Amino acid sequence: MASGEEDGALEEKETNNKKRTKSIIATAWLMFYNIAMTAGWLVLAVAMTRYYFQKGTHKGLYRSIARTLKFFQTFALLEVGHCAIGIVRTSVIVTGVQVSSRIFMVWFITHSIRQVQNQESVILFLVVWTVTEITRYSFYTFSLLKHLPYFIKWARYNMFIVMYPLGVIGELMTIYAALPYVRKAGMYSLRLPNKYNVSFDYYYFLIIVMLSYIPLFPQLYFHMLRQRRKVLHGEVIVEKDE
Ligand SMILES: CCCCCCCCCCCCC/C=C/C(=O)SCCNC(=O)CCNC(=O)[C@H](O)C(C)(C)COP(=O)(O)OP(=O)(O)OC[C@H]1O[C@@H](n2cnc3c(N)ncnc32)[C@H](O)[C@@H]1OP(=O)(O)O
């Protein structure tokens, strides 16, 4: 009997040790990830500011930072993984929509359609993303260190009120500017007849993507407003999608 109890206690101790090790590894990884991402977006901020002051124009700015932007924004795909394996307490759906819309903008719009790269709207969403991400990743870093300065917490849960709509305006205006080029070049489209017997028109796909902002954006925005009430005002909120 006594040996049974001892075995049970031993098993519990082992499980607790495993959990602790897992949590240490997860925290160390998140620390590395958040510092790398803060640094990446800071590099982008400095590069954009320098370019603008040296050249006196936004033309060519996107091309000058494209590689760094593509690298760090693509790296953010890992965030969906973090949610999926449960090392951060964020919804996979919310993060998935946020990250996929960014990846889409970077690879399937600005990277693919050179003619839009000098649009002012590209600069608008780049500036908004940069400010947002420097704040967000430093928020996570300082939270992990358990020394979160209030101004970072305040910025994370207030700036999005203006930044989110501005980012969406920049993204939508850029997709809209891309439409005529996509139609003219017939890019990423598949016309019938073909051996697969399917047709796909990227032009109409882009219109559908633009329309999908109507139901999706308010969900992300209201999610952030709920998070704001929870974090800044201590309200207890039950999330439906988690
Ligand atoms: C095929 C094409 C598809 C296209 C689809 C198109 C439709 C798109 C429509 C939508 C359009 C969106 C366009 C977006 C534009 C912009 O981004 S504009 C710029 C403004 N943007 C923002 O302000 C972004 C706001 N978004 C976010 O902050 C996040 O992306 C989020 C995922 C929404 C955050 O979610 P939230 O639930 O608020 O999570 P958090 O509070 O941040 O985290 C919860 C807990 O988890 C911890 N945590 C999370 N990540 C980390 C991490 N990396 N490291 C450490 N810890 C982390 C966090 O600390 C929290 O912990 P607790 O406090 O203990 O709960």
Are the CB atoms for 51 and 64 separated by under 8 Å?
Answer: yes
**Ligand 1: nearest atom to the Cα of 33:** 53
Residue type present at position 3:
S
Task: With a cut of 90, say whether residue 8 has pLDDT above it.
Answer: no
* Nearest protein CA to atom 6 of ligand 1, as residue: 101
> Residue 73: CB within 6 Å of ligand 1?
no
Are the CB atoms for 70 and 107 separated by under 8 Å?
Answer: yes
Looking at the chain, the whole-number percentage of residues with pLDDT higher than 90 is 83
Q: How confident is the model at residue 242 (pLDDT cuts 50, 70, 90)?
A: very low
Question: Can you name the residues that pair with 200 across neighbouring β-strands?
Answer: 190
**Ligand 1: nearest atom to the Cα of 103:** 2
**Interval 143-190: pLDDT, tens:** 999 999 999 999 999 999 999 999 999 999 999 999 999 999 999 999
**Predicted local confidence at residue 2, as pLDDT:** 58
* Averaged pLDDT of the chain: 93
**Ligand 1: nearest atom to the Cα of 213:** 9
Task: With a cut of 90, say whether residue 40 has pLDDT above it.
Answer: yes
pTM here is: 0.91
Q: Separation of 75 CA from ligand 1 center, angstroms? A: 14
List 140, 171, 202, 203, catalytic entry? 171
Full DSSP string of the chain? -HHHHHHHHHHHHHHHHHHHHHHHHHHHHHHHHHHHHHHHHHHHHHHHHHHHHHHSSSTTHHHHHHHHHHHHHHHTTHHHHHHHHTSS-S-HHHHHHHHHHHHIIIIIIIIT-GGGTT-HHHHHHHHHHHHHHHHHHHHHHHHHHT---HHHHHHHTTTHHHHHHHHHHHHHHHHHHHHHHHHHHTTT-BPSS-TT---B-HHHHHHHHHHHHHHHHHHHHHHHHHHHHHHHH------S--
Task: With a cut of 70, say whether residue 241 has pLDDT above it.
Answer: no
HEC per residue, 122-162? HHHHHHHHHHHHHHHHHHHHHHHHCCCCHHHHHHHCCCHHH
Task: With a cut of 60, say whether residue 239 has pLDDT above it.
Answer: no
